[in-house]
Structure formats: structure tokens, C-alpha cells
Structure 1
Amino acid sequence: MTTFDKREEGFEKKFALDEEQKFKAEARRNKLLGIWAAEKLGLTGDAANTYAKEVVAADFEEAGDQDVLQKVLKDLTAKGEAITEGQIRAKMDELLVQAVAQVKAGG
């Protein structure tokens, strides 16, 4: 194996690790978003955890995070919350920073 091959293999492993961490961070962000939204919906305990899992599962409906955003927006507005897509997107961005830190910390 040449130095180039070893270097290429190293980049491939780093890319795979980066993609795995990105997936974990996005899933963590979605869970945190679900807990945040559950609180706004008046859900606590098991009901809040179940709702957070539903938000995480919503991410598998289509590529990107628009499916998660739409679920939370729909649920909150149906409950009478005056919230915009932009406000939820800002919360998602804020929670992604928190989620990335948690994933990097191994938490």
C-alpha cells in the first residue's frame, strides 16, 4: 500500500466518521426540538418523550429537514401557538449547535 493509498483510506474513514457524526447530531437536534415543542404543547413525561420520537421519525419522510420543520410548525399552530417557520428554523439552528457539542463530547 502506497502512502497515497493510506492517505486516501484515511480521508475515506474521516468522511465516514464526519457523516456519522452529522447524522447523530441531526437526530439529536430533532430530539431536542421535539422536547422543546412538546413543552410548548403542554406535554410532559412519557407524552413529551413520545412526541420527541415522532419528530425524530418525521426526518425520515423526505430528504432534508423540511419534514421536521413542517411537523413541528403544523403541530404548534394547530395548538394555537403563534409561531413562524423562521422562529422554528432559528430554534433548529440553535439546537444543532448544542447537539453537535453533545455528539462531539460523546454524550
Structure 2
Amino acid sequence: MTTAFENREKAFEAKFRLDQEQEFKAVIRRDKLLGLWAAEQMGLSGDAAKSYALSVVDVEFSATDHDAGHKVARDLLDAGIAMDETAIRHQMAVLLEVAREQIVAEMKQS
């Protein structure tokens, strides 16, 4: 009986780790998508857009900014684009769902 409970506990722990890993990947993917979206708003394309998107992703790993939303809001403002932070947060929520769907689809393919 104990082995069954131990196996169940291990399965729950494995599921929790997988869920946490997927959510981390989704947030990073969302930030990349957000960076590409913001780059488009600022008129960036090609390598400049990709470079900007990576700078948005890097915010998650640095202590210099609060989060990707703050960076994008500040950068859009610096570029002369007035955008309400609520609109940016909404875009982040939409892109998080897109990112989650992409990751699940990629997992099903592999």
C-alpha cells in the first residue's frame, strides 16, 4: 500500500515539475512574442525586430527592469507611441495564451 502512495506522490511531483517547466517556457515565449509585437508598433523589422524581442526576453533574467511589460511600455513611450499600460497587459495576456498553445502543440509533435 505504501508503494502505491509513493508512486502516486512521485507522479504528482513529476506533473508539477512539468507544469512549472511549461509555464516558464510559455512566459519566455510570450515575452518574445510581445517583443516582436512592440517592434512592429515601433516600425522595426527583420534583425532589428528580432534583436529587440530578445532584449524583452532578457528582462526576465535581469534585475534592471521590473518585467517585460514595463520595458515595452517605456520603450514605446520613448519611441513616441502613446500606449496605455492596460493595453500592453492585455496584449501580454493574449500572447501568453498563444504561447501556451504553441508549446502544447510542439509537445504533441515530439
What's the TM-score bracket when you normalise by the shorter of the two chains? over 0.9
% same residue: 50
CA distance in 2, matches of 1:51, 1:17: 29
- C-alpha RMSD of the superposition: 1.5
Which letter does structure 1 place at the counterpart of 2:15? Answer: K
Which letter does structure 2 place at the counterpart of 1:58? Answer: V
Which letter does structure 1 place at the counterpart of 2:68? Answer: V
1:56 is the counterpart of 2:51? no
CA distance in 1, matches of 2:85, 2:31: 15
Aligned residues: 105
Aligned-pair CA distance for 1:44: 0.5
Gaps of 5+ in 1: none
Aligned-pair CA distance for 1:41: 1.0
Q: How does 1:6-25 map to 2 (within 5 A)?
A: 6-25=7-26
Which letter does structure 1 place at the counterpart of 2:69? Answer: L
Q: How does 1:23-102 map to 2 (within 5 A)?
A: 23-62=24-63, 66-102=66-102
Gaps of 5+ in 2: none
CA distance in 2, matches of 1:67, 1:89: 11
Residue 4 (structure 1) aligns with: 5
CA distance in 2, matches of 1:95, 1:59: 16
TM, length-normalised to structure 2: 0.90
Aligned-pair CA distance for 1:66: 4.4
Aligned-pair CA distance for 1:82: 1.3
CA distance in 2, matches of 1:60, 1:104: 24
CA distance in 1, matches of 2:10, 2:101: 26
Which letter does structure 1 place at the counterpart of 2:51? Answer: T
